[in-house]
Each structure stands twice: as C-alpha cells, then as structure tokens.
Amino acid sequence: MRPLSELGNYKIEQGDADPRGWKVVGPKGHQIGTVVDLLVDTQAMKVRELIIDLHGDGNGAGASMVSLGVDEVDLRSNTREVFATRYADSGFATGSTARPYAAATGINRDQSTLTRSEEELEVGKREVNRGEVRIGKHVETEHVSTPVTKRREEVVIERRPVEAGARGDASFRDDEIRIPLTEEEVVVDKRAVVKEELVVGKRVVEEQEVVEADVRREEFDIDRSVEIRSGEEFTRKR
C-alpha cells in the first residue's frame, strides 16, 4: 500500500468523498485527530486505510500518527467528519486495526517515487462482412430415350385346299374382302415432378487465431552502488 500523497497520478474517483483534512471524532463527538492521508492498495485500486494525526495540527506534525482501516470509520460528508466506531475514552478498542503509522510503514516523508508502466495487449472482436453465398437454380435440357413396346396388326394369309366335291360359286365374278388393321402409336407427354429439396441455413464455427503484437514496458535502472530498498527493508549492495 502507498500513501495517496505519493501517487501523483492517482485521484479520488469523482463522486466519492475525500476525507483528507476532516476531523476524526469519537463516540461522544469529541475530536481525536485529523485525517492527513490515505493508504491506497495500488493493485486493487482501493483506499484501505486512513492515516490519522492524533491531536495534531492536521499537517502530520503531531506526536502520534496511526493508520486505521476504512471498515472502522463512518464518513459524514455533511459535517466533514470521520466517526471512529471503535474508539473509546482510553483509545482504540482491542481488535481495532489502528496501529502506529511510522512503525507499520517506515515511511520517509522526504523520499521520492518513480513509477514504472508497461503496455498490456487488449484483444477485442468485431463482426465484419466476409461475403455472401448465392443459391439459385436454372433449367438444363437433357436428351433422354426410353424403350416402349407397341403393338400392330398384320394380315396373315394362308392358302389351303378344300374337300373334293365341294361346290363353288358358278357366277365367276370379281370379289374382294377388306380387313382393317390397327397399330399402337407412341404418345409423348411431360409433367413436372418434385425430385429433391435444398435446405439452406447458417451455423457458427469457432476457430483459434493467434494474435501477435509488440508491447512496451519500462524497467528500472538502479545504480547498485547506492543504498536500495527491498520491500520494507533497506540493504546495501556489496
């Protein structure tokens, strides 16, 4: 966690109360200190604790400063007061998160800060038109042949002798007989018959695509011959 005063590019979100400079009061309404700074969880981007100057001038010049968790206070914007819910006449109750600020954080108020930034790749998606599929139909003509059996009549002539003694017509005149003949002829007709149907729809297909890009990041350049800070401890490189 870092004091908000040391995070030059951090600000309280618009619409949220900024209690710095507000009086801190106990259950009886008496002032017990002033909020001088806020401790920010820079990973979660949330204010976790208030830094309180107990009975000081509000500028951090008091003899005793504590940090107090935000879950133990009630912000009263109308009176610009911070109500400490676990404060008693003799001090903060047992179990309170209040603790000496200097001992807990080891803050040097003359120190400077240097931030490090890096770019993160943000990949989004948008729908684009990838063309269209046109489906229609057309007419093709095909020459087909089909065998058909048809019938026709033919004249069958048979000559055969008659019995001896049979009498014929003695007039001897011209005569003839007519025999009608028939045959079948092929009659061609066409009709439309539904043979097949085409069902057209869409489906979504998912596929993996690898996105590659160059991102930049800042790295600290540390002079190893000077005193450096590791976490909350100061060590000297040898």
For the residues 24-35, what does the mean pLDDT come to? 87
The pLDDT value recorded for residue 141 is 93
Question: What six digits make up the tokens of 90?
Answer: 């003799």
Q: Is the pLDDT of residue 87 over 90?
A: no
Domains and CATH numbers, the chain: 2-109 (3.90.50.10)
- 19 vs 48, 121, 196, CA distance in Å? 13, 36, 78
The pLDDT tens digits of the residues spanning 159-205 come to 988 888 777 766 778 888 899 999 999 999 999 999 999 999 999 99
3 state DSSP class of 200: coil
- Helix, strand, coil percentages, rounded to 5, for the chain: 5, 25, 70
The pLDDT value recorded for residue 233 is 43
Question: What six digits make up the tokens of 199?
Answer: 């069902």
- In whole angstroms, give the CA distance from residue 72 to residue 209: 50
- Of the listed ranges 10-14, 22-26, 38-42, 135-139, the least confidently predicted one is 10-14
Highest average pLDDT, of 61-70, 107-116, 133-142, comes from 133-142
DSSP 218: -
The pLDDT tens digits of the residues spanning 39-77 come to 988 888 888 899 999 876 555 554 588 999 999 899 998
Question: What six digits make up the tokens of 55?
Answer: 């009975």
The pLDDT value recorded for residue 46 is 87
Stated length of the chain: 238
Question: Which of the pair, 162 or 132, is modelled with greater confidence?
Answer: 132
Q: Which residues contact residue 98 at a Cβ distance below 8 angstroms, ignoring those fewer than 6 apart?
A: 66, 67, 68, 69, 72, 86, 92
- Of the listed ranges 67-71, 90-94, 111-115, 215-219, the least confidently predicted one is 111-115
- In whole angstroms, give the CA distance from residue 21 to residue 35: 5
The pLDDT value recorded for residue 35 is 92
